[in-house]
Amino acid sequence: MIEAVLSIGGIGLTAAVALGLAAKKFAVEVDPRELAVLEALPGANCGACGFPGCGGFAKALVEGKANPNACTPGGQGTVEKIAHILGIAAVAADPRVAVVLCQGDNRQAALKYRYVGMGDCNAAQRLAEGPKQCPGGCLGLGSCARICPFGAIEITDEGLAVISRELCTGCTKCVAACPRNVIRMTPLSASVHVLCNSHDKGAQVRKYCAVGCIACHICAKTVPGAYVIEEFLARVIYEHHQEAGAAVEKCPTHCIRDFARGYPPGSRFAAPTVPVGGKSAA
């Protein structure tokens, strides 16, 4: 018994000495600025900056190989802190948010088949290109919501992804996760969006979705210059977003939404309190 205790203790002691020596011999010099920068970053390790985690980004910043603007989750506050640490000028970033360009939940959009299987949009998309008749609509199985590091995406009871304009930091992870390319990064200041992602002709869209864009051009005629219709789908020209709101009521299928007036039906997110054109104190 005693021998056992002694020998274990002996092993422990030898290991401790060895570790101590190794720590001295192999010590890596860390630039103190790198630690300070790392401290200033949000620590979400989201990868939006294009580097492997916040640590990789901090290193690149110190080495002058990256721009502080690349951290979208950090926002302007982070950019200024980093600029201060590194002694460089802060360039104002235009904050962006992700928007799901679809309102066709299970009440509004028709299914192609009944899907029974893994709750994952990419897995469902592999079966005959997804259970929805619309080729571009949200599948509502939440691949985006699971990957969002900020909990900014909810899936409504009727199977539609909705992104909070307050919680979204613009990291773009959801855009990469979505098999249907229905999530778009847009300027936060622009609150009016055409929530449809189908390039099918109007007559076709009417067959499978009650709230799809039918390319009737009414929006573009109501506010010339604020909308463009390409391949049977309307888009807001975000430089002219201020005027775009005037067409919301005119759209026959109600597929234009002004987020300043509320989220799509079924969403639990409260209407944004953020005034159009600015982000709440972050």
148 binds, among ligand SF4, other proteins, none (CB under 5 to 8 A by kind): ligand SF4
223 binds, among other proteins, ligand SF4, none (CB under 5 to 8 A by kind): none
Choice between 37 and 144, CB closer to ligand SF4: 144
Binds ligand SF4 (CB under 6 A): choice among 54, 62, 168, 192: 168
- 112 interacts with other proteins by CB under 8 A: yes
- 37 interacts with ligand SF4 by CB under 6 A: no
Minimal distance in Å, beta carbon 143 to other proteins? 8
- 116 interacts with other proteins by CB under 8 A: yes
Binds other proteins (CB under 8 A): choice among 22, 118, 176, 270: 118
- 201 interacts with other proteins by CB under 8 A: no
Binds ligand SF4 (CB under 6 A): choice among 42, 68, 170, 272: 170
Half-sphere exposure of 33 (CA within 13 A, CB side): 14
Minimal distance in Å, beta carbon 214 to other proteins? 21
- 134 interacts with ligand SF4 by CB under 6 A: no
Tokens of 99: 């928007």
- 139 interacts with ligand SF4 by CB under 6 A: yes
- 162 interacts with ligand SF4 by CB under 6 A: no
Minimal distance in Å, beta carbon 259 to other proteins? 29
**CA 70 to chain CA centroid, nearest Å:** 14
Pair 24, 130: CB distance under 8 Å: no
- 113 interacts with other proteins by CB under 8 A: yes
How distant, in Å, are the alpha carbons of 27, 156, 210, 220, 224 from that of 244? Answer: 59, 27, 22, 9, 9
Q: Which of residues 179-238 bind ligand SF4 (CB under 6 A)?
A: 180, 182-183, 194, 213-219, 229, 234
Binds other proteins (CB under 8 A): choice among 45, 76, 106, 122: 122
Alpha-carbon torsion, ordered 128, 130, 135, 137, to 10 deg: 180
CA 48 – CA 172 distance, rounded (Å):
6
Which of these segments, 92-100, 119-127, 194-202, 273-281, binds other proteins (CB under 8 A)? 119-127
Binds ligand SF4 (CB under 6 A): choice among 37, 60, 66, 121: 121
Pair 54, 43: CB distance under 8 Å: yes
230 CB contacts (<8 Å, ≥6 apart)?
none
- 151 interacts with other proteins by CB under 8 A: no
Return phi, psi of residue 242, to 5°. Answer: -60, -40
- 251 interacts with ligand SF4 by CB under 6 A: yes
CA 96 – CA 217 distance, rounded (Å):
27
Under the rule (CB under 8 A), what is the footprint of other proteins? 112-113, 116-118, 120, 122-123, 126-129, 146-147
